[in-house]
Amino acid sequence: MTSVCFYFQVHQPFRLRKDYDFFRIGTDHHYEDDYANATILDKVANKCYRPMNQLLLEEIHRWKGRFRVSFSISGVCLEQMERWAPDVIESFQRLVDTGCVEILSETYYHSLASLFSPEDFVAQIAMHRAKVLELFDYEPVVFRNTELIFQDQIGELIEDLGYRGIIAEGADRILGWRSPNFLYQPAPCHKLTLLLKNYRLSDDIAFRFSNRAWEAWPLRSETFAQWVHQVAGNGEVINLFMDYETFGEHQWEESGIFDFMRSLPGGILAHPDFAFATPRELIDRYQPIGKLSFPQPVSWADVDRDLSAWLGNSIQDASAERIYRLEGVVKALGDPELLHTWRKLQTSDHFYYMCTKWFADGDVHKYFNPYESPYDAHVIYNNVVSDFEERLLQRWRAREEPAPGSGRSPLADMAFVD
């Protein structure tokens, strides 16, 4: 038996105001573009979340539970849904209530904390678990890191937190001659199971589906089912991982993506040796066939599948270092509102918008960037951080208390106090 596992990532960031210029620093503490965030969420909900959730619910009922999927929904996205689209949360709740939908764990803020602050990484995971339990009465057992960023140290930490599995990119440079169509175990781990994305089949849906220059266009569900069935005898799992916004937003309804997904379960299940399963069920059903080492971080972004979508150029690195250097003073102040703001400024999208790779060529980084250029994103972000730093400085001085610890003030970690 070969199991097909669909995992969908649901995420929307809190976007910053594009008019937050230098002259607002010190006078205007409202950083987010509420109108844009509400409008974009409603647009994506109308094009993707509402119709696709209904489609999945119908297919689950049609196939009497044989069709199964999984989701990870970032905490910042859930916040926006609670504020502007509560009916979308209700539609996800109906899916979970079928017993055929698994919810995965992740960082609440869709952040890069795993690379900069293990302490805050763990805290954000706990926040996300609490939100999932609150909204869905569900306890996740499988973890996915932001953008599927994974390396050996992350695996060790996640295993220590008690998770049974983690999902990652099936990068060729890690797999070598091995296939992503089996379960593995991270090299330093003893209990944690590693589920790897089959990026070729996943990207056929997520990226190539509406590409008229693609030799397989137009992709029919029967054709895709045949490709999946070719794995028979050469793999136990086929992990199809993608952004949920693929459906209706990245691949428009006019492309036929909804019709494709409506007929795909029947095409897959037509083969008696194939079934659908969630990550938790894969772990129950199969055993890892070996260990894999990830000495360097791997992600699911771009052809490079590394960190260069978020880190690597000077403006990304400087911005990320600047926000994470504030951890000490933010936590020492103990203000929940400031802590929430600091963590929202960690959301990976802010650094993605500063990516300069191939930007001039009209690639995906330009398509998903609300700014005119990565440099505009950098300026706005750092204007906001400058104001945030001033707020922290004023609050700290107002305390009129000595710095905790050995006498070194957390203010020394703030860029403008050095």
Active-site annotation, residues: 147
Q: Which residues pair with 5 in a beta bridge?
A: 239
The whole-angstrom separation of Cα 184 and Cα 201 is 19
Torsions phi, psi for 142 (to 5 deg): -120, 140
Q: Is 305 helix (H, G, I), strand (E, B) or coil?
A: coil
Both tokens of 266, joined, read: 């029947």
Question: Residue 416 burial (CB < 10 Å; 0-12/13-18/19+)?
Answer: exposed
Both tokens of 362, joined, read: 């009209």
Sequence-ordered list of residues with C-beta below 8 angstroms from that of 273, at least 6 positions apart, any chain:
1, 2, 232
DSSP annotation string for 244-303: GGGEETTEEGGGTHHHHHHHHHHHHHTSTTEEE--HHHHHHH-----EE--SS-B-SSTT
What one-character DSSP code corresponds to residue 47? I
Question: Residue 271 burial (CB < 10 Å; 0-12/13-18/19+)?
Answer: middle
The whole-angstrom separation of Cα 149 and Cα 155 is 10
**Is there a contact between 270 and 35 (Cβ–Cβ < 8 Å)?**
no
The whole-angstrom separation of Cα 13 and Cα 345 is 10
What's the chain's Rg over C-alpha atoms? 22
Phi-psi region of 249 (alpha: psi -120 to 50; beta: other; left: phi over 0): alpha
The whole-angstrom separation of Cα 147 and Cα 73 is 12
